[in-house]
Chain A
Amino acid sequence: MSKAAVKCGELTKSYGGKLAVDAVSFSVLQGEILSIVGPSSGGKTTTIRMLAGFEQPDSGEISLQDTLVSSSSIFIPPERRNVGIVFQEYALFPNKTVAENVAFGLHRLQQNEQHTRLSDVMEMVQISDVSNSYPHEISGGQQQRVALARSLAPQPDVLLLDEPFSNLDTGLRVEIRNEVRSILRETKTTTVFVTHDQEEAMFMGDILAVMSEGRIEQIGGPAELYHTPSTRFVASFLGNTDFLSGIVVDTTVRTELGKIPAPKESQPGPIDLVLRPQDLVVGEGPGEGTVEASEFRGPTYLHHIRLVSGDKVRVETPAYLRCEIGDKVKVGIGPHYQAVGFPSQ
């Protein structure tokens, strides 16, 4: 089993009496990517700023590569943690060229080693052709690459990415994040990645932590969190989630969309089932509802349907399945649905 490159225990930090990070614990294995996702001001950024050493935790411990860097008695400053960071706004030095920016962290290497490392990194990130430009002269995507190259150049033990893609437009964002992911894979860089975008978080992370109001709600594999959320918050944060009320009787759940097998270990009684638009079908099934809106998304439609009971669900269908607003349609649960739910409140 590979060892933990990052280990946090009970990290806590508050500002002016308000808890920003509340007893957060997690560990990241060597070469793994951890995505931390959650709504803004949920404590994500504070968490990685504590990892970097820009903030001192009120309590709790941080170990990097089995070295304690932060505890009640120890505080190793950022420059001695060998941690790389890419900021949301990149923070490139405006008065230095691209090459000077990337070489900035190589000051401890020999002259010739510096050159080799510099050209290696610039090549890997594909910015060799702009090495003599200044940051303001290159595009946002290239600035992002320079920031990544600068933080990777000194071969950090851990790389921290703070919403690094949020300043890029949609097309470029997808392209760059693919690239960044494969570079991180290739270099086996242990990474903690923070974002508010759930799709990005699931794509980037080997493990995913959902954070809200300073606490980690759930941590685990992205698919695990998506399919078996352990809290209502996680369920509604990942995917376009609707809740459908039902009643657990023995091993089945009765809902207005039919009877399905109950989730494991569920208590008898009222339950709210977690449903994503992909779990439902339109045009067949025991349920009935009225179309309230239809969002055309190119390959698919997302229909907003008000069920007879008054519950609202969203259903994704292929684009040929058109509905008009006000249409009465049949609704059912798809055959592959694995029930997940929470006792009704």
Chain B
Amino acid sequence: MNLISLISSKRVGKPPIIILAPAIGIGLVMLLPLSYLIIRGMDASETTWELLLKPRTLVTLGRTALLMFTVTLTSVLISVPLAWLTTRTNLPLHRMWSVITVLPLVIPSFVGGYLFVSALGPRGLLQQALSPLGVDRLPEIYGLAGATLTLSLLSYPYVLLTIRGAVRNLDPALEESSRALGYGTFQTFVRVSLPQLRPAITAGSLLVALYTLSDFGAVSLMRYKTFTWVIFQQYESSLDRSLIALVSLMVAIIAISTVLIDIYTRGKLRYHSVGPGTARTPTKRNLGGWKWPALTLMTGIAMASIIVPASILWYWLVRGVSAGEPLSIILHDTWNSISVSMLAAVTTSILSIPLAIMIVRYPGRLASLIERVSYIGFALPGIVVAVSLVFFAANYAQPIYQTMWLLIFAYVILFFPTALGATRASLLQISPRLEEAARSLGYTSLKAVRSVTIPLAGPGVVMGGSIVFLITMKELPATMILGSLGFSTLATSVWSAASEAFFAQAALPALVLIAVSSVPMAVLVAREKGDFS
């Protein structure tokens, strides 16, 4: 394709109103939570500001930042060796390991928190098992240690997946050049491979840091008081809504600065290979005697992140069923969870289409501005969006206040970027020439989109939708705050039981939740494998 056709393919003109209007609408909707928080925050009285500016707030800030740091660091330390071992070495059963290591993604943080607390907490399963040996106290699980442990073991797959993708794209010729220039295996890894992986590590770290910042379930169960916990407490107890708005605004600022820091540190360095030559499939390194330590590491991570939690869950499940936990509630919760998540997934995916078309087919300042704005949802914690929408709806949108529609609205804001990313990626793979070919063969632009673009983009859009389904199932704080009175889902049921230490009662909904969210997960894993071949 020569230069002119490249340019001209992008300058097809202005987007038609059928694309432009919904795209702008989405941009405005995405701005709503943040702008409404600002408006409410400006109402704050002097006493509110005094309350906010107490040292207590600074302590919470420090705690939150510290947790973000420890969880991100731990995740990176776990993920780098795991990614390397499963993709670039002859690790036995590497296929199985690469599936197992991403499985923690299906465990919601509040389920993980509940399982770890019930096992490692005071008078938990471990202490009970050890008590015949005279152990009547375990090291304290509550606080930073417990929160770091739980969140790292559940969120490291975010880093792992991005690194794994990057490792696969590494050009082995770079490493071979380094070896030929006299550097050993380890030096090559540190000096050549690791710098190449930096963008992936940074991108994955960003996901983990935001995950930690927005987490409510695990930190609450681990009694580590971060901002989300503070907001929730304030929301439950206090009437000073402008205070809640200000605290939420602070969290939003932290989130957005995290994203900005990420963008800034990415810098302008080039990491892709320069010059021609396609990358060969890398050769796999023979682990030799290192096989056993490697397998021990893999087993250890698998035990801690998935096998032990699953066993604990199983234990509580058996206890719950034998104690006669009622099944009917579960059915009701399951139905609620699935229908709400399905609705969120479908709505979000459909809404992502016009903006994705605008970004891909009509790029320009307006398109990239709306795109950036729409990523706000990705950065904002669920609880922040929920609090803002509650205040907004109570004042301006009474008809949907306390209904499922407000909840769906929040999900759309929170998970829109996920759907947009998938839709955009699948549209990018479709050459505009295909639509043009259809038009020259007598199809109107709308018909061309229907008979050419949609069938080709469909699978990608559905993929994005199923990820939205998965994360909606796991969402807790927004569901609690925005769900109508008496509206319960699997997530809220697990939470209400676990937070009252009714561990056996939490087991069944937790299991169903994991089982249902595993379905889209399985598809994703299968797809990742497909990319490998």
Q: Determine how close the nearest CB of chain A comes to the CB of B332; give it in whole angstroms.
A: 41
Contact flags A64-102 to B (C-beta < 8 A → 1, else 0): 000000000000011111111101110101110000000
Q: Does B443 contact A (CB under 8 A)?
A: yes
Partner of B431, one of A89, A150, A163: A89
Interface size bracket, A side: 35 or more
Residue pair B4, A20 in contact (C-beta under 8 Å): yes
In whole angstroms, what is the CA distance A79 to B11 when docked? Answer: 19
Partner of A41, one of B3, B433, B440, B448: B3
Give chain B residues whose Cβ lies under 8 Å from the Cβ of A88. 1, 5
Please judge, given known A-B contacts A78-B440, A95-B455, whether A55 and B1 are in contact too, CB under 8 Å: no
Partner of B440, one of A20, A40, A85: A85
Q: Does A104 contact B (CB under 8 A)?
A: yes
Q: Which of B108-141 contact A (CB under 8 A)?
A: none
Give chain B residues whose Cβ lies under 8 Å from the Cβ of A89. 1, 431, 433
Give chain A residues whose Cβ lies under 8 Å from the Cβ of B431. 89, 91
Q: Does A191 contact B (CB under 8 A)?
A: no
Give chain A residues whose Cβ lies under 8 Å from the Cβ of B437. 85, 87, 91, 93, 150-151
Residue pair A45, B8 in contact (C-beta under 8 Å): yes
**Which residue from chain B places its CB closest to the CB of A44 in the assembled complex?**
B4
Residue pair B441, A77 in contact (C-beta under 8 Å): no
Give chain A residues whose Cβ lies under 8 Å from the Cβ of B440. 52-53, 78-79, 81, 83-85, 105, 151, 156
Q: Which of A43-73 contact B (CB under 8 A)?
A: 43-46, 49, 52-56
Residue pair A15, B11 in contact (C-beta under 8 Å): yes
Residue pair B13, A78 in contact (C-beta under 8 Å): no
Residue pair B438, A104 in contact (C-beta under 8 Å): yes
Q: Determine how close the nearest CB of chain B comes to the CB of A195; give it in whole angstroms.
A: 11
In whole angstroms, what is the CA distance A94 to B2 when docked? Answer: 22
**Which residue from chain A places its CB closest to the CB of B458 in the assembled complex?**
A95
In whole angstroms, what is the CA distance A95 to B460 when docked? Answer: 14
Give chain B residues whose Cβ lies under 8 Å from the Cβ of A156. 440
Please judge, given known A-B contacts A93-B452, A95-B455, A105-B442, whether A162 and B434 are in contact too, CB under 8 Å: no
Give chain B residues whose Cβ lies under 8 Å from the Cβ of A336. none
Give chain A residues whose Cβ lies under 8 Å from the Cβ of B3. 40-41
Q: Does A154 contact B (CB under 8 A)?
A: yes
Give chain B residues whose Cβ lies under 8 Å from the Cβ of A154. 441-442
Q: Determine how close the nearest CB of chain A comes to the CB of B460; give it in whole angstroms.
A: 13
In whole angstroms, what is the CA distance A79 to B438 when docked? Answer: 8
Q: Does B444 contact A (CB under 8 A)?
A: yes
Q: Which of A4-63 contact B (CB under 8 A)?
A: 15, 20, 40-46, 49, 52-56
Partner of A54, one of B7, B12, B455: B12
Q: Does A297 contact B (CB under 8 A)?
A: no
Residue pair B456, A95 in contact (C-beta under 8 Å): yes
Please judge, given known A-B contacts A85-B437, A163-B2, whether A77 and B444 are in contact too, CB under 8 Å: yes
Q: Which of A144-203 contact B (CB under 8 A)?
A: 150-151, 154, 156, 162-163, 196
Q: Determine how close the nearest CB of chain B comes to the CB of A120; give it in whole angstroms.
A: 17
Q: Determine how close the nearest CB of chain B comes to the CB of A46; give it in whole angstroms.
A: 5
**Which residue from chain A places its CB closest to the CB of B437 in the assembled complex?**
A91
Give chain A residues whose Cβ lies under 8 Å from the Cβ of B4. 20, 40-46
Q: Does A107 contact B (CB under 8 A)?
A: yes
Partner of A91, one of B13, B434, B443, B445: B434
In whole angstroms, what is the CA distance A338 to B236 when docked? Answer: 97
Q: Determine how close the nearest CB of chain B comes to the CB of A55; give it in whole angstroms.
A: 6
Q: Determine how close the nearest CB of chain B comes to the CB of A129; give it in whole angstroms.
A: 23
Give chain A residues whose Cβ lies under 8 Å from the Cβ of B5. 45-46, 49, 88, 162
In whole angstroms, what is the CA distance A318 to B433 when docked? Answer: 46
Give chain B residues whose Cβ lies under 8 Å from the Cβ of A77. 439, 444-445
Interface size bracket, B side: 20 to 34
Please judge, given known A-B contacts A15-B11, A55-B8, A154-B442, whether A41 and B2 are in contact too, CB under 8 Å: yes
Residue pair A78, B439 in contact (C-beta under 8 Å): yes
Q: Does B436 contact A (CB under 8 A)?
A: yes
Give chain A residues whose Cβ lies under 8 Å from the Cβ of B439. 53-54, 77-79
Please judge, given known A-B contacts A78-B436, A79-B443, A87-B437, whether A49 and B456 are in contact too, CB under 8 Å: no
Q: Determine how close the nearest CB of chain A comes to the CB of B349; give it in whole angstroms.
A: 20
In whole angstroms, what is the CA distance A83 to B367 when docked? Answer: 32
Q: Which of B1-56 contact A (CB under 8 A)?
A: 1-5, 7-8, 11-13
Residue pair A15, B7 in contact (C-beta under 8 Å): yes
In whole angstroms, what is the CA distance A45 to B6 when docked? Answer: 10
Q: Determine how close the nearest CB of chain A comes to the CB of B348; give it in whole angstroms.
A: 25
Give chain A residues whose Cβ lies under 8 Å from the Cβ of B12. 54-55
Give chain A residues whose Cβ lies under 8 Å from the Cβ of B11. 15
Q: Determine how close the nearest CB of chain A comes to the CB of B425; give it in whole angstroms.
A: 16
Q: Does A264 contact B (CB under 8 A)?
A: no
In whole angstroms, what is the CA distance A340 to B456 when docked? Answer: 56
Q: Determine how close the nearest CB of chain B comes to the CB of A251; give it in whole angstroms.
A: 45
Give chain A residues whose Cβ lies under 8 Å from the Cβ of B8. 15, 20, 45-46, 49, 54-55
Please judge, given known A-B contacts A78-B440, A162-B5, whether A93 and B13 are in contact too, CB under 8 Å: no
Give chain B residues whose Cβ lies under 8 Å from the Cβ of A80. 442
Give chain A residues whose Cβ lies under 8 Å from the Cβ of B455. 95
Give chain B residues whose Cβ lies under 8 Å from the Cβ of A54. 8, 12, 436, 439
Give chain A residues whose Cβ lies under 8 Å from the Cβ of B444. 77, 79
In whole angstroms, what is the CA distance A94 to B453 when docked? Answer: 11
Residue pair B442, A85 in contact (C-beta under 8 Å): no
In whole angstroms, what is the CA distance A168 to B436 when docked? Answer: 22
Give chain A residues whose Cβ lies under 8 Å from the Cβ of B7. 15, 20
In whole angstroms, what is the CA distance A54 to B4 when docked? Answer: 13
In the A-B complex, list the 4 residue pairs whose CB atoms are closest, starting with the nearest. A105-B441, A91-B433, A78-B439, A40-B2
Question: Which A residues have a C-beta under 8 Å from some C-beta of B?
Answer: 15, 20, 40-46, 49, 52-56, 77-85, 87-89, 91, 93-95, 104-105, 107-108, 150-151, 154, 156, 162-163, 196
26 A-B residue pairings within 8 Å (CB atoms): A15-B8, A20-B4, A20-B8, A40-B4, A41-B4, A42-B4, A43-B4, A45-B5, A46-B4, A52-B440, A53-B439, A53-B440, A55-B8, A77-B439, A77-B445, A79-B440, A79-B441, A79-B442, A84-B440, A87-B436, A87-B437, A93-B434, A93-B437, A95-B455, A151-B440, A154-B442
20 additional A-B residue pairs with CB within 8 Å, beyond A54-B12, A85-B437, A107-B442: A20-B8, A40-B2, A42-B4, A44-B4, A45-B5, A46-B5, A49-B8, A52-B440, A54-B436, A55-B8, A79-B445, A81-B440, A83-B440, A84-B440, A89-B431, A91-B431, A91-B433, A91-B437, A105-B442, A151-B437
